[in-house]
Structure 1
Amino acid sequence: MSEHAAEISWEKNTHADDASTYSRNHVGRFEGQQKLNISAAIEYKGDALCADPEQLLVTAAASCHMLFFLAIAEQQGFLPESYSDTPVGYLEKADSGNLEITLIELYPKIVFSGEKQPDEKAIARMHASAHKRCFIGNSIKAQITVGSYS
């Protein structure tokens, strides 16, 4: 088992665009002393210059998947040189009537170097294995899919 701690802090301020309500901006701090400006999504009176919780969830799922993919590729003797992704999460009304992230689509682009190059089937197997092992993916109920990749 491992523990993963963070801190968030918010202080009351007037909303920059709507004086009748409060600012949703707050700060997240992490164990490595990183600081992240966070707000609500812009659809919910958030600040477009800040990350929102939905983006953070989507990023966490994509990052976890990527880290497992890279480990699996290395174990299989492949040499990933770069990995990028443009994940998209969909906030929708669920059957319960509540809004939730119901789907996260990953769109990884991977470049390999070296003599040993994976074919499409090997890449698909590595993605399937990464998906199965991803801590974040196993912790949320949103469906996570891997779109086209290269």
Structure 2
Amino acid sequence: MSEHTAKIEWQRGDAEFTYQTYSRNHTVTFANGHVVESSAAADFMGDPEKVDPETMFVASLSNCHMLTFLAIAAKKRLVVESYVDNASGVLGTLENKKMAMTTVTLRPAIVFGGDTTPDAATIDDMHHKSHEHCFIANSVSCAVNVEPA
């Protein structure tokens, strides 16, 4: 088991504290010291220049899928030269009228090198196993689709 931490810091500042006026800007500091300037999504009065939690959620799923895929490829002795994913997520409304990330779509484009290039069926199986073993995908309830490029 391992524990993962993040420190979220927000200050009111000089703004009046009403729903329309309070700042959504805050920082996320990770255990290694990296700081991400964050806000709510622009649709919810956040700063579009900063990273919102929904986008971090999409990035987390994409990142986990990629790292799992690379581990599977390395164990199969397949050489991956590059991996690019143009992932997206949909914030929608559930049947109970609550908002949630309802779908995340991963669109990985992978370039293999070395002496062996896997066929499409092998790559599909690797994506299936990556999703099945991704810690983050195993932690969420929304649909996660993988559409390889």
User: What TM-score, normalized to structure 2?
Assistant: 0.95
How is 1:78-97 mapped onto 2 (pairs within 5 angstroms)? 78-97=78-97
How is 1:62-73 mapped onto 2 (pairs within 5 angstroms)? 62-73=62-73
Give the partner amino acid of 2:113: S
* Aligned match of 2:109: 109
Deviations 1:42-93 (A, max 9, x none): 0000001100000000000000000000000110110001111011100000
Shift of 1:148: 3.2
1:131 aligns with 2:135: no
Gaps of 5+ in 1: none
* Aligned match of 1:77: 77
Count matched residues: 147
Give the partner amino acid of 1:110: I
Distance across 2 between alignment mates of 1:21 and 1:80: 48
* Aligned match of 2:46: 46
* Aligned match of 1:147: 147
Distance across 2 between alignment mates of 1:70 and 1:4: 22
Distance across 2 between alignment mates of 1:32 and 1:68: 22
User: Percent identity among equivalent residues?
Assistant: 39
Deviations 1:79-134 (A, max 9, x none): 00111101110000011110100100000011111111011111100000000000
* Aligned match of 2:29: 29
Q: SS state of the match for residue 136, structure 2?
A: helix
Distance across 2 between alignment mates of 1:142 and 1:62: 14
User: What TM-score, normalized to structure 1?
Assistant: 0.94
Gaps of 5+ in 2: none
